[in-house]
Structure 1
Amino acid sequence: MIARTILLAGVAGLCFIASAASAQEPAPAQAAPEQGATSGSPRGDVIVVTARRRQETAQQVPLAISVIRGDSIEATGNFNVVKLQQLAPTLQVYTTNPRNTSVNIRGLGVPFGLTSDGFEQGVGIYVDDVYNSRVAAATFDFLDVAQVEVLRGPQGTLYGKNTTAGAINITTNQPTFDFEGRAEVTAGNLNYKQAKAAISGPLSETVAARVAVATTSRRGTLYNVATRRWINEQDNLGLRAQLLFQPTEDLSITLSGDYSRQDPECCGTTFVRVGTTQRLLTRQYDALVAAANAAGRNYQVPSRNPYDRLSDLDSNLNAGNKIGGASLKVKWDVGPGTLTSVSAWRFWDWKPENDRDFTGLSIVARSQNPSQQDQYSQEFRYNYESQDIDFVVGLFGFKQRIDTQGVESQGADASRWSLTNAAQINAGILNGLTASNTQYLKSTSAALFGQLSWKVTPELTIQPGARINYDKKSGFYQRVVTTGSGQVIASCAPAATAGNAVLAAQCGVYQPQISAPSASDWNFTYDFNINYKIAPDVLAYATYAKSFKTVGINQNGLPLDANNQPILSAGTVKPESVNHFEAGLKTQFLDRRATFNLTAFRTEIKNFQATVNNGQFGVLRGYLANAQKVRSQGIEADFKILVSDRFTAYANGAYTDAKYKKFVDAPCPPELAGGTVTTNAAQWSPAGQAGTAANPSFSRPNCDISGQRLPGVSKWAFSYGAEYNIPAHLLDKDGQVYLGVDGNYRSHWNSNASPSIYTEVKGYALTNLRAGFRGEGFDVFGWVRNVFDVDYIENLQVAPGNVGLIAGQVGDPQTWGGTIKVSF
Structure 2
Amino acid sequence: MSITLAILLAAPAASPSESVTQTAQGQSPAPAADQDPASVPETETGAAWRLGPAQQGGGDIVVTARRRAETVQSVPIAMSVIGGEALAETGAYNVNRLTQLQPTLQFYSTNPRNSAANIRGLGAPFGLTNDGIEQGVGIYVDQVYYSRIASATFDFTDTERIEILRGPQGTLYGKNTTAGAINITTRRPSFDPEARVEVSGGNYEFFQGKFSVSGPIVADVVAARISGSITTRRGTVYNTLQREWQNSQDNVGLRGQMLFRASPDLDVTLFADYNRQNPNCCVQYYARVGTTQRPVSRQFADLSAAFGYAPPSTNAFDRLTDVDTDLRAEQELGGASALANWTLGSGTLTSVTAWRFWHWNPSNDRDFIGLPITPVSANPSQQSQFTQEIRYASDTKGPVDYTVGAFYFYQTIDTQGLQSQGSAASRFLLNPGNPPFGPNGCATPTTAACNPAVLNGLTSRNTIGFKNTSAALFGKLTWQAADRLEIAPGLRVNYDKKEGDYVATVTNGSGSPVLTNDQRGVLAPQSYQPEFDNWNISGDITVSYDFTPDIHYYATYAHSYKSGGINLSGLPLDAANNPILAVQTIDPETVNHFELGLKTQFWDRRATVNLAAFWTEIDDYQATVNNQQVGVLRGYLANAGKVRTRGIEVDSAFRPVSGLNLYINGAYTDAKYVRFVDAPCPPELSGGPAAAPGQRPGPAGVPGAISPPSCDISGQVLPGVSKWAFSYGAEYGIPTSIAGREGQVYIGYDGSYRSRFSSNPSPSAYTWVDGYALSNFRLGFKRDDGLNLFAWLRNAFDDDYYELLATQSGSTGLIVGQPGDPRTWGFTLSAAF
Residues 313-392 of structure 1 aligned to structure 2 (within 5 Å): 313-385=323-395, 386-392=397-403
Unpaired segments of 5 or more residues in structure 2?
1-35, 49-53, 434-444
Pick the aligned partner of 1:607 from 620, 625, 634: 620
Residues 412-427 of structure 1 aligned to structure 2 (within 5 Å): 412-419=423-430, 420=432, 422-423=445-446, 424=448, 425-426=450-451
Query: Match for residue 583 of structure 2?
Result: 570
1:137 deviation in Å?
Answer: 2.5
Residues 120 and 162, structure 1, Cα contact 8 Å, conserved in 2: no
| Greater displacement, 705-714 / 616-625 | 616-625
Residues 195-206 of structure 1 aligned to structure 2 (within 5 Å): 195-205=209-219, 206=221
Query: Match for residue 436 of structure 2?
Result: none
Residues 503-582 of structure 1 aligned to structure 2 (within 5 Å): 503-582=516-595
Pick the aligned partner of 2:494 from 448, 461, 469: 469
Amino acid at match of 1:481: V
Show CA shifts across 1:494-534 (max 9, x none).
Answer: xxxxxxxxx12211211111111001000001001000001
Query: Match for residue 414 of structure 2?
Result: 403
| C-alpha separation in 1, matches of 2:426 and 2:209 | 49
1:28 deviation in Å?
Answer: 11
Query: Match for residue 181 of structure 1?
Result: 195
Amino acid at match of 1:160: G
Amino acid at match of 1:261: R
| C-alpha separation in 2, matches of 1:617 and 1:674 | 8
Query: Match for residue 713 of structure 2?
Result: 705
1:821 matches 2:830 = yes
Q: Secondary structure at the match of 1:92?
A: strand
| C-alpha separation in 2, matches of 1:747 and 1:141 | 27
Show CA shifts across 1:526-581 (max 9, x none).
Answer: 00100000111100100000000011100000111122111111110010000000
Pick the aligned partner of 1:76 from 90, 95, 116: 90
| C-alpha separation in 2, matches of 1:159 and 1:762 | 38
Query: Match for residue 626 of structure 1?
Result: 639
Cα 1:195/1:549, change in 2 over 3 Å: same
Query: Match for residue 765 of structure 1?
Result: 773
Query: Match for residue 496 of structure 1?
Result: none
Query: Match for residue 589 of structure 1?
Result: 602
Residues 336 and 355, structure 2, Cα contact 8 Å, conserved in 1: yes
| C-alpha separation in 2, matches of 1:260 and 1:736 | 35
Show CA shifts across 1:2-27 (max 9, x none).
Answer: xxxxxxxxxxxxxxxxxxxxxxxxx9
Query: Match for residue 7 of structure 1?
Result: none
| C-alpha separation in 2, matches of 1:369 and 1:617 | 20
Show CA shifts across 1:332-352 (max 9, x none).
Answer: 111210000000000000001
Q: Secondary structure at the match of 1:674?
A: coil
Residues 58 and 605, structure 2, Cα contact 8 Å, conserved in 1: no
Query: Match for residue 292 of structure 1?
Result: 307
Unpaired segments of 5 or more residues in structure 1?
1-26, 294-298, 493-502, 692-696
Query: Match for residue 266 of structure 1?
Result: 281
| C-alpha separation in 2, matches of 1:507 and 1:28 | 60
Show CA shifts across 1:724-779 (max 9, x none).
Answer: 01111112211111000001100000111111111100010000000011112200
Query: Match for residue 796 of structure 2?
Result: 787
1:207 matches 2:222 = yes
Residues 556 and 619, structure 1, Cα contact 8 Å, conserved in 2: no
| C-alpha separation in 1, matches of 2:354 and 2:241 | 44
Query: Match for residue 810 of structure 1?
Result: 819
1:427 deviation in Å?
Answer: 5.2
| C-alpha separation in 2, matches of 1:417 and 1:457 | 70
Pick the aligned partner of 2:126 from 112, 124, 129: 112
Pick the aligned partner of 1:448 from 467, 470, 473: 473
| Greater displacement, 614-623 / 226-235 | 614-623
1:229 matches 2:244 = yes
Pick the aligned partner of 1:482 from 483, 504, 507: 507
Amino acid at match of 1:51: A
Aligned-pair identity (%): 57
Amino acid at match of 2:683: P
| Greater displacement, 324-333 / 682-691 | 682-691
Residues 116 and 556, structure 1, Cα contact 8 Å, conserved in 2: yes
Query: Match for residue 741 of structure 1?
Result: 749
| C-alpha separation in 1, matches of 2:263 and 2:551 | 38
1:650 matches 2:663 = yes
1:160 deviation in Å?
Answer: 2.9
Structure 1 residue runs of 4 or more that deviate by more than 6 Å after TM superposition: none
1:777 matches 2:792 = no
Q: Secondary structure at the match of 1:508?
A: helix
1:683 deviation in Å?
Answer: 2.5
1:218 matches 2:233 = yes
Amino acid at match of 1:783: W
1:643 deviation in Å?
Answer: 2.6
Query: Match for residue 667 of structure 1?
Result: 680
| Greater displacement, 669-678 / 210-219 | 669-678
| C-alpha separation in 2, matches of 1:237 and 1:307 | 29
Cα 1:28/1:140, change in 2 over 3 Å: closer
Amino acid at match of 1:316: D
Cα 1:724/1:427, change in 2 over 3 Å: closer
Q: Secondary structure at the match of 2:557?
A: strand
Q: TM-score, normalised by structure 1?
A: 0.92
Q: Secondary structure at the match of 1:160?
A: coil
| C-alpha separation in 2, matches of 1:115 and 1:806 | 19
Taking only aligned residues, the RMSD between alpha carbons, in angstroms, comes to 1.6
Query: Match for residue 137 of structure 2?
Result: 123
Query: Match for residue 798 of structure 1?
Result: 807
Residues 55 and 61, structure 2, Cα contact 8 Å, conserved in 1: no
Show CA shifts across 1:65-119 (max 9, x none).
Answer: 0111111111110111111111110000011011111100000011111000000
Residues 715 and 747, structure 1, Cα contact 8 Å, conserved in 2: yes
Residues 55 and 608, structure 2, Cα contact 8 Å, conserved in 1: no
Q: Secondary structure at the match of 2:639?
A: strand
| C-alpha separation in 1, matches of 2:462 and 2:679 | 26
Task: Between the two structures, name the one with larger relative contact order (CA 8 Å, sep ≥ 6).
Answer: 2
Residues 606 and 630, structure 1, Cα contact 8 Å, conserved in 2: yes
Q: Secondary structure at the match of 2:121?
A: coil
1:306 matches 2:321 = no
Residues 42 and 644, structure 1, Cα contact 8 Å, conserved in 2: no
| C-alpha separation in 2, matches of 1:739 and 1:822 | 19
Residues 9-24 of structure 1 aligned to structure 2 (within 5 Å): none
Cα 1:718/1:681, change in 2 over 3 Å: farther
| C-alpha separation in 1, matches of 2:563 and 2:466 | 15
Query: Match for residue 500 of structure 1?
Result: none
| C-alpha separation in 1, matches of 2:452 and 2:148 | 43
1:458 deviation in Å?
Answer: 2.1
| C-alpha separation in 1, matches of 2:374 and 2:630 | 10
| C-alpha separation in 2, matches of 1:212 and 1:44 | 32
| C-alpha separation in 1, matches of 2:472 and 2:55 | 42
| C-alpha separation in 2, matches of 1:679 and 1:759 | 28
1:41 deviation in Å?
Answer: 8.0
